Structure 1
Amino acid sequence: MSDDQNVNDAAGEYGADNLQHLSDRDHVRKRPGMYIGDTFSRGLHHLVYEVVDNSIDEAMAGHATKVGVVINPDGSVTVED
């Protein structure tokens, strides 16, 4: 069997049954690097920056009166607006 035929056979087997639908949340969890660059310090800092920036935008638009940011003892971050 030639290499060309192997490629055609493999291509013929690919279809909707081969696809898996992921919710938005599951897609981010499966491939976080697509959204924040990386999952190390730099990417996580960027993620916090984006959340804080969005909260500030909401406050500037009049949808919030204050923005709170807390770095929790476990290293996680809580942002409230």
Structure 2
Amino acid sequence: MLNFEQMFYESSYLDSYDRSQRMYIMNRDGFTLLAMGFTGKKAMNFKLEYIQLFNKMEQSLKHLDFSNPDTVLMLAQN
């Protein structure tokens, strides 16, 4: 299960007036979660491409022999 707190966290930066400003940092999963809530043509294209690429990745993984240590090592290095 993914943890929401691992996807987004609060930080800060100094603006051009040297004032501390709040900002939020997100990882790739956080971006995907956020983007999946967007609407419109560009958002729909992103969602469809994401699904297509995820399914392609899933198919390529089905052909791998995970009982082979070399396969696991190769995946860990990429």
What band does the TM-score fall into relative to the shorter chain?
A: 0.3 to 0.5
Instruction: Point out the structure with max Rg over C-alpha.
Output: 1
Point out the structure with the larger strand share: 2
TM-score by length of 1: 0.38
